[in-house]
Amino acid sequence: MPHTALLLIDVQQSFRHRPYWNGADAEAFLERSNALIAGCQAAGIPIVRVSHTDGPDEAANPFSHASGHIRPLDGLRPFDPALSVEKHRHSALVGTGLSIWLHQQGIRRLIVAGIRTEQCCETTTRHASDEGWEVDFVTEATLTFDMTTPGGAPLPAALIRERTATVLAGRFATLATVEQALARA
């Protein structure tokens, strides 16, 4: 039985319907995510699909079921998840039953990838580390978007990814490429 699982967090169509969506980095993100999924499938590593839902259940809210956007991001490689969970918080381990399932499966290491690098991926990584899992954070298989600092300055997505990698490295996670994460599994 594998002792590693891939948590594929919030790789869902909802993000294409947010005002901050910028597809400039999406192609590279999908290529790396698809390589990670293919590698996990080939190695028999279970893949957990995590979806984010929140807000009013109406068609105008892309994170509600009524919108029809709580589905895999277009271009994502199809896979049969070992488990699918819906989360309503930033950490995939809050209120989803995921931690129970991971323990039942004997999972000791997690590979984290998905959307948004600094939000749900980072929060889940910190939480998992604090709960005792070893975590491989695959920055190249995460996606985020430009932001504006509280002072009004632009903050490019590349700097957000770098900042996230900096604060996670060696404390909450091992930074890994797709190939390194698969080799460590």
- pLDDT of amino acid 1: 57
pLDDT in tens, 90-146: 999 999 999 999 999 999 999 999 999 999 999 999 999 999 999 999 999 999 999
CB 61 within 8 A of CB 67: yes
CB burial of residue 134 (10 Å; 0-12, 13-18, 19+) = middle
CB 3 within 8 A of CB 113: no
Handedness of CA 130, 88, 73, 167 (dihedral sign): negative
Domains identified in the chain and CATH numbers = 4-184 (3.40.50.850)
Beta-bridged to residue 6, according to DSSP, are 47, 111
User: What is the pTM (predicted TM-score) of this model?
Assistant: 0.97
Calculate the average pLDDT of the chain: 97
The rounded percent of the chain whose pLDDT value lies above 90 is 97
pLDDT in tens, 149-178: 999 999 999 999 999 999 999 999 999 999
Contacts of 16 (CB under 8 A, 6+ apart): 23, 62, 69, 73, 74
Compute and round to an integer the Cα radius of gyration of the chain: 16
- pLDDT of amino acid 163: 98
